[in-house]
Structure 1
Amino acid sequence: MQPRSSSFPKSEHHARFVRARRMLKENGFEACVMVAPENVYYFGGYESWVGVNSPQFMIFGVEDGEPTLVLRNVDLALALETSWIGDIRTYHLHTDSVADLVTSVLKEKGSTGGRIAIETQSYALSFAMGRHLAEALAPREIVDATELLGDLRLIKSPAELARIEEAARFSALGLAEAHRVCRAGMTEIELAAAIEGAMRHAGSDYWAIPTELASGWRTPGGHATPRPKVIEPGDLLHVEFAGVSARYHTTVLQTLAVGEPGPRARELYDIALLSLRAGMAAVKEGVPVSAVEEASLVPLRREGLEHTAMMRFGYGIGIAYPPVWLETLQISRGFERRLEKDMVFVLHSCIELPEEGIGIVQGGTYHLGASGLRMLAGAGDVGLHIL
């Protein structure tokens, strides 16, 4: 029976689950205690943010049998509403031992002391809970499977791309609203409210990262959230936010000018645009991610500004829960993964000069399809827009 609030058919979730089980078996695991909310949703259909608040797990052996959900009793209705998994075990917060319950379920599934896959890098696994699990599961070996499981989500199916397209529509409405209402004299918080309201009214789900918005002297703060600061004539304005459909995110990035900016701001914007173009031109199937970022840095090096590019050039995006919307794909030096068809990722150029009070981040969310790179959301390769 299809759960009442499921975003995808059971067959899609089950096919994903089969892939996860096969991959873990090939890597020598005995079982998996899945903890990251984005993975539990992707493979098990269970849609809930509360894993960062109350421990919840999807547990399964790699040989056969159905998986089990372990979650807090107050959240049982959420699992029944969204997940295809029939075996659900609950605990009462603070009075029941979650680690003992997880251990009991593993024993039922035939776990005898082998390697257990857990996403130890997940924000949903606190140090304390990780320690309790390690003690309860001994002598089993807990092994980090963050990248192994996360990488299975990087290639998007047609059904996922449809959700991503809807998220992009919400993002576009938010950006259009920013262009429509932004004016000197309003506060950053007022502008953020207009952007978020437009997306919510259109049907967007909640986003995993707060709206990032900064004007004037605050723009070098790459992850700045809106303040009561008044937007002034001539300010640069950086916005970054996401539209969301069924937990799939598409991120908008744009640096705007509220009235005529100074000549230095224009100069730096044009250099940032050259960086974005160079990186985008390098994006092709089979290209190492490190080569893409290296290409984006060439225009900055010519101007002696490489040190101002403090952000990675890009990262994978898709399902996300607070506190982040990044996937395991890193489009950055230090990584040699190659780009593949139907990956979805954020690309952005970055110049941050705190000593000059100028910061520029420009880009958006892109899909690498059969016809090449396509922008889904954001401003991308456009000249400086003056409001």
Structure 2
Amino acid sequence: MTTTIPAEEFSARRQRASAAAKERGLDALLVCSRGGGTLDRYADVFYLTNFYTHFPFIPDFANNWSGRAHTFLVLPVGGDPRLVIDVPDDGRIRLDDGTVDYTDFVVEGAIEALRRAGLGKGRVGLVGGDVLSFTMAARLAEALPDMTLLAADDIVGELRAIKSPAEIALLRQASRLGSRMIEAMMEAARPGASHGEVVAAGLDVLVPAGGVLYNSFMASGVGGDPSRFSRNNFPTWGSDRKLEDGGWIRLGISGALNGYVFDLARAKAIGPVSKRQVEFLEAAKACVDATIAAVRPGATAGDLGAAGLDRQEAMGFPITGVFSAMGHGVGLGWDAPWLARGVSREIVPNMVLSVERTISRDGYLGDFEETILVTENGPELLTDATQRYW
């Protein structure tokens, strides 16, 4: 049975966001999100209203439409919220205390909503600044020249970092689906299979269950020969090189079920495993295990990051590459905190964290990632995929 979040919880989220805006001296929040069938930046409006637009992004067409694939929520302090959408409500919007405007002219609708709320000279916190395009921002400034727009992503970000019981149930369901998906993919990863065939096996599990794929980071190779390292950028499963006996494969998958994200990774040998392959496979898992073991009352995100990275260096693998964290919060996307050295954010119960590490050198690679719930008594695994294939 799918868990649903009651309307009262969405209302409480908006009240907390509005209170935080008031405390900061803001008159309102303007929350901007983008859907379009992707998982990139839908989360903030979804978190506050349960609305997602599936319409794809298309350029504005004067006198016909504007802001397609975008959604705006105007959340005045002490006033009624107004949601501006570009596709009809399918009955899932949770905004009993506000108004929904369905329009082809989303940008104009947002401007009108701000005017109706009396914010023409207000101080408005913008949530979703990376979603608001240059053109949209210019049109807002032109229409409302006396309104001050200020960055406020952290207001909703702080709320999203701590999960409710209903959210935890949804994340548990998503993590279990992701676990079944990656197991199907690992089973399909045999000599002669392509990356695309491996992904197809996972989609056979994901799609019938109502899930959506965000990405599948894939790489394979023949250990000891970096020149035969196989991967592809667009799509990530597009490599035409077949898996070979004696090689390895890593799968880092992410997707969503009911909007809530799963994120996990596994790696294995193709055919018989060698001692050298086991070294890398075990090293990645050991870093993740060390990080999870550091979860305790009073620990910080920096403590967790240091635990895993210190373990990596102690095993003789330098910290290289573009991702220096041991993981991140997860919910309706990538949430706070980042598990990296020096981050002072305290780890508290009801955070959900994805803990990850990739170890690579000399044409070998190990990859491992789990999702955990932080409880009063420590960590609880939400992902339950097979851990070792060696």
Question: Is TM > 0.5 for Structure 1 vs Structure 2?
Answer: yes
Whole-Å Cα distance in 2 between the matches of residues 290 and 220 of structure 1?
32
Q: Give runs of aligned pairs for residues 300-339 of structure 1, distance below 5 A.
A: 300-308=312-320, 310-311=322-323, 312-319=325-332, 325-339=333-347
**Cα distance, 1:373 vs. partner?**
0.5
Mapped to 1, the partners of 2:93 and 2:322 lie a distance apart of 39
- Where is the helix percentage greater, Structure 1 or Structure 2? 1
Matched, 1:68 2:68: no
**Which residue number corresponds to residue 48 of structure 1?**
53
How many Å apart are 1:372 and its aligned residue?
A: 1.1
Is the 2:29–2:76 contact (alpha carbons within 8 Å) kept by the matching residues of 1?
yes
Residues 1:280 and 2:313 aligned together: no
Q: Cα–Cα, structure 1 residues 50 and 342, in superposed 2: closer, same or farther, change >3 Å?
A: farther
Of 143, 152, 156, 1:145 maps to 152
Q: Aligned equivalents of 2:158 and 2:18: distance in 1?
A: 14
1-structure distance, mates of 2:369, 2:108: 47
Alignment of 1:177-192 (within 5 A): 177-192=184-199
- The aligned residue for residue 89 of structure 2 is 77
* Contact 2:220/2:231 (8 A) holds in 1: no
In the alignment, structure 1 residue 89 sits paired with structure 2 residue 108: no
**Structure 1 CA distance for aligned equivalents of residues 232 and 359 of structure 2:** 11
**Equivalent of residue 375 in structure 2, options 345, 369, 372:** 369
- Once superposed, what is the RMSD of the aligned Cα atoms? 2.7
- State yes or no: 1:211 paired with 2:216: yes
SS in 2 for 1:206: strand
Partner of 2:8: 11
Deviations 1:88-109 (A, max 9, x none): 22333xxx4x444323211221
Q: What is the deviation of 1:40?
A: 1.1
| Structure 1 residue 51, shift from structure 2 partner | 8.1
- Compute the displacement of 1:243 (Å): 5.3
Mapping of residues 187-202 of structure 1, within 5 Å: 187-201=194-208
The one of 334, 346, 353 equivalent to 1:345 is: 353
Note the C-alpha offset of 1:197.
1.1
Cα deviations by residue, 1:164-207 (Å, 9 ceiling, x for unpaired)? 12112211221231243331111110010001111222x13213
Cα distance, 1:120–1:247 mapped onto 2, change above 3 Å:
closer
Q: Secondary structure at the match of 1:175?
A: helix
Q: 1:118, 1:142 within 8 Å by CA — same for their partners in 2?
A: yes
> Which residue in 2 is equivalent to 1:160?
167
- Structure 1: runs of 5 or more not aligned: 320-324
1:322 counterpart residue number = none
The equivalent residue for 2:268 is 256
**In the alignment, what sits opposite 2:225?**
none
Rate the CA distance shift 1:63–1:77 in 2: closer, same or farther, 3 A: closer
- What amino acid maps onto 2:159 in structure 1? L
Q: Secondary structure at the match of 2:291?
A: helix
Deviates more, 1:140-149 or 1:272-281: 272-281
Aligned to 1:299: 311
Relative to the length of structure 2, the TM-score reads 0.84
Q: TM-score, normalised by structure 1?
A: 0.85
Tell me if 1:30 matches 2:27: yes
Contact 2:29 2:127 in 1 (8 A): no
- Which residue is 1:130 aligned to? 137
User: 1:278: how far off?
Assistant: 2.0
How many Å separate the matches in 2 of 1:220 and 1:179? 16
CA distance in 2, matches of 1:254, 1:385: 9
Percent identity for Structure 1 against Structure 2: 24
SS in 1 for 2:191: coil
Q: CA deviation at 1:116?
A: 0.9
Contact 2:10–2:94, Cα closer than 8 Å, also in 1: no
1:226 and 2:237 matched: yes
CA contact (8 A) 2:4 2:166 kept: no
Please tell me whether the aligned partners of residues 205 and 243 of structure 1 are also in contact (alpha carbons under 8 angstroms). Answer: yes
Equivalent residue letter for 1:359: L
Deviations 1:94-129 (A, max 9, x none): xx4x4443232112212242321112444x322322
Pairing partner for 2:251 from 208, 229, 239: 239
Q: 1:224 Cα shift?
A: 8.1
Pair 1:328–1:31, CA change in 2 (3 A) = same
Runs (4+) off by over 4 Å: 49-53, 219-224
Give the Cα separation in 1 of the matches to 2:129 and 2:117: 25
Q: Structure 2: which 5+ residue stretches go unaligned?
A: 34-41, 58-67, 222-227
> 1:145-168: CA deviations, max 9, x gaps?
112212201111111111112112
Residues 145 and 364 of structure 1: CA distance in aligned 2, closer, same or farther (over 3 Å): same
Alpha-carbon distance between aligned partners in 2 of 1:330 and 1:121, rounded to the nearest angstrom: 20
